[in-house]
Amino acid sequence: MGVRGEIGLMSEYDTIDAERAADDRIAIVRLDAPEQNNVLDMEMIREFAAAITAADRDEDVWGIVVSATGDMFCAGADLNYLKELSFEEGTRFMTAYFEALDLLRETGKPVVAGVHGICAAGGNELVSACDLIVAESSARFTQPEAGVGATAAGGGVQLLPLIVGEKRAKDLLLTGRMIEAEEARAMGLINRVVPEDDAESRAIDLTKTVINNKSPQAYRTIKAIMKPWTNFGLLGQEMARDLTARVWDSDEFRERSEAFLADEDLEPRSFDGIRPPARSEE
């Protein structure tokens, strides 16, 4: 693996593929670890951030498309990796991940995601930070973290209520159910449903629509003015980082992650309230 076409300051990558589209004004940044279902680890997050930064800095790039290689868009964060993290390592991972999401939200250039296959957990959080999302009709979206004892606080808990509303967000987060592309479009999670094998090309077309017909100055201004809306959801970023790192550094998360990875049944756990039981009368 490695870069197949350099963009400005980009160098070679091991987990990211970055190149120019046929329209040289558009950079395509792909998750490129298909044999691992494009799971997110520290290396991929750092390389993704470097590729987005390079595209943002390149004055010849007018728009950015986020895509992926292989059959699955992204299976989320790598559980094998997460369950070995200490609290401090977890905070560093979350910091790097939030910084990658912020790059997508902060660039003045349009960022369009083209999704195929399954887009799960951290992958769904990643595309939610893009400006627009197109997905193939067979694409599936899910935030299944609660099933393995994780939190979806890498953006899912914060951004989903803003995008689809509180009740729909809780439905996705608490049940972890997988939804089809048409349902994702109907609830506002994505913008377009496109034919099979067309996600990336349609994402490029949508990017061209913006850069060909709209004022760059106006677009940057619109995006900047809208950014505080998502900032509102991310106000507790440091708290989410530390709480998530603490959850990853727990026996419950490790037990449930190992059971999930081994395809074993997850043991039900009791749900405790936050108030102490009533004192029994003596």
| Residues carrying an active site annotation | 145
Residues 245-281 as b/e (b if ≥16 CB within 10 A, e otherwise) read bebbbeeebbbbbeebeeeeeeeeeeeeeeeeeeeee
Q: How far apart are CA 110 and CA 215, in angstroms?
A: 11
Residue 105 tokens, joined: 């939200």
Question: Alpha carbon of 172 to those of 132, 234, 273: distances in Å?
Answer: 20, 19, 22
Helix axes 216-233, 156-164, angle to 10 degrees: 120
Q: How far apart are CA 113 and CA 132, in angstroms?
A: 6
Q: DSSP string covering 59-101, please?
A: TT--EEEEEE-SS-SB--B-HHHHTT--HHHHHHHHHHHHHHH
Are 26 and 204 a contacting pair, CB within 8 Å?
yes
C-alpha 235, offset from chain centre: 18
Are 16 and 31 a contacting pair, CB within 8 Å?
yes
Alpha helices in 109-178 (DSSP H): 122-128, 156-164, 166-175
Length of the chain: 282
Q: How far apart are CA 149 and CA 47, in angstroms?
A: 27
